[in-house]
């Protein structure tokens, strides 16, 4: 019995350390998310910011074609091309390299569409957009 108690203390100590690290990591991620969303908001036009705050997405205009692309919150499959009638037409899956928070990723997508649309179209993966989705 004497050897079980030290083992128990070691296990409990390890669990407490792991929980503490998990809480710290969650706090850091939450802080990064907040800062990323603030950076995004600081770089949206007044119309884009209003649209994002009221609808959960904003539109960016392609620099070459003039096409409208809708960017919703997220990092993957969150960009769709909008047709002339305002309906989602085709999804465009692309994102910057690295493990970025959503706000940073969305800002990079906005900058890419507005400044190097041809590269976006050449490198993005198209996907079908369901009619009832978050882009309406």
Helix (H) or strand (E) holding 60: strand 57-61
Residues 62-77 pLDDT 10s: 999 999 999 999 999 9
* Residue 25: both structure tokens together: 């990591």
* Model pLDDT, residue 28: 58
Q: In sequence order, which ranges of the chain are alpha helices (DSSP H)? A: 4-42, 46-55, 102-115, 117-123
* Cβ contact 77:116 at 8 Å: no
* Cβ contact 68:61 at 8 Å: yes
* Model confidence, pTM: 0.77
């Amino acid at each position: 019995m004497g050897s079980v108690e030290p083992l128990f203390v070691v296990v409990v100590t390890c669990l407490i350390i792991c929980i503490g690290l998990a809480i710290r990591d969650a706090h850091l991620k939450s802080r990064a998310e907040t800062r990323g969303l603030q950076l995004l908001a600081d770089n949206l036009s007044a119309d884009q910011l209003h649209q994002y705050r009221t609808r959960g997405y904003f539109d960016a205009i392609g620099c070459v074609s003039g096409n409208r692309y809708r960017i919703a919150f997220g990092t993957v499959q969150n960009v769709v091309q909008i047709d002339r009638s305002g309906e989602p037409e085709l999804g465009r899956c692309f994102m910057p390299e690295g493990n970025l928070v959503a706000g940073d990723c969305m800002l990079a997508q906005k900058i890419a569409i507005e400044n190097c649309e041809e590269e976006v179209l050449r490198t993005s993966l198209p996907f079908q957009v369901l009619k009832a989705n978050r882009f309406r």
